[in-house]
Structure 1
Amino acid sequence: MTQMALVIDLNVCVGCHACVTSCKEWNTSGEAGSLSDLRPYDADPSGTFFNRVQTFEAGEFPLADTIHFPKSCLHCEDPPCVPVCPTGASYKRKEDGLVLVDFDRCIGCKYCSWACPYGARELDEARKEMTKCTLCADRIHNETLPERDRKPACVLACPTSARLFGDIHDPESVVSKAIRERGGYQLMPEWGTRPANHYLPRQKTTACGSGACSCGSTTEGAADVVPAAEFEHGLVDLASMATRI
């Protein structure tokens, strides 16, 4: 079965939020819109976003670094949000493996949000419906678009090509090759949800403090700036905090 997914390269994400804004623009004007923004300039803003970028400070001087960590629905192969939905609004599409929401059936009960261990579901306060990343399902199969544009809006907007898109069940796809060759990993695999989205781990830090430095110097025995396990620790709390922004 086809399983479309994102692979995000944590080495080159610069935290510019182009993925966030392009996602918001496309989905507000697409099948999933409109996505509400309540009190955007007040002290207590609230809005609906399918994609968010969380930023971490990691390490100690002189090996300190800033890590930008994009996160959205992971389109799990065994999504816990689907069986708990009392109306069948949440479902996994067979032809491409995407986890989607039928807004005509959604009653905003939040069961899917409670079941998701990654905090990837959000309640649109204006519509009283649960929303999430669709991987631009209304775009990737749109034959009226040039083939090069049949990708999620976030992938097309990324200025550093940190986001890859493809079928992880196809061993020759760009995402499968990246996972295989660069040690791509899933978030919290112990939950048994089999997340489709993967992350490419950070490179080892060099003596001058940058994993991408071209000076050729290295620090003997230096560890990854932020190991996968450290990202996963406390991720649920961070995710739930993000949904309240």
Structure 2
Amino acid sequence: MARQSSSNAGRAAEILILLGQADRKGMALAALAAATGEAKSSVHRTLVALAEYGLVVQNGNRGNYMLGPATYALAHRSLGVNEIVATYRPALIDITGRTQFSTYLMVRSGLDTICLDYQMGQIVAQPYVSGIGGRIPMGVGISGVCILGMMDARSRDRCLDLLEDRLAQWDLTRPQIEAEIAEFQRLGFMRGIRRSAGIESLTLTVPINNDHLRGMETAISLLAPLNVLDAAGERAAIAVMRDAISTAERHASSPTRSDDMSGR
């Protein structure tokens, strides 16, 4: 780098940037010293300090240095479950209050979808999950189809490979689920009908596209009795859901809200 570090913190930052730009072989101590314009002893002390926190690792004794797992973890940190519920519970309350239908906050857990939170509406339909903690295989419920559609293609295909037998137990086929996923990816939300306890219900599901939820595919579903909503009513409900999610996220990111959450 053109600029020589003026502090330990600056030297550490330069080293992390250099290692982030290096190939998979990493960089030797001598190369890092030359690139930063620092003495080897100073660079080595900084590397030792970074290694103590898992920010860099050395490939064997006297080997090259590379970014450590803690660097990746920091860059990809997801919200915790409590934070997710705290962020999106107001959205559930808002949606249910404005539509009178029950709403569910659903997240992927392995090959299942789990209900993290819900609000019971005045207009009740037959759900697949009994409440918080209820879980069903992905694809059995409409929220699971939405969540599958949010995943990268390779991960989704592997999940479907492993889910086929379980889906068959619910009289669902892989081609059916794949067709629903394609429809979700076309529309940006999921609409579907499922039968639970012999009763057919309509589910509308909107994905939560939040950069802080990497690896935790999450969605909000609205459950309505069949034939209660016409096409215009469904569009209006989707608009309400998107607006409520956006409002909840905006409020959660405000300084006052962040301070309240951190002080709990």
TM-score if structure 2 supplies the norm length?
Answer: 0.27
If asked which structure has higher relative contact order (CA below 8 Å, sep 6+), I would say 1
TM-score if structure 1 supplies the norm length?
Answer: 0.29
- Structure with greater Cα Rg: 2
More helix, by proportion: 2
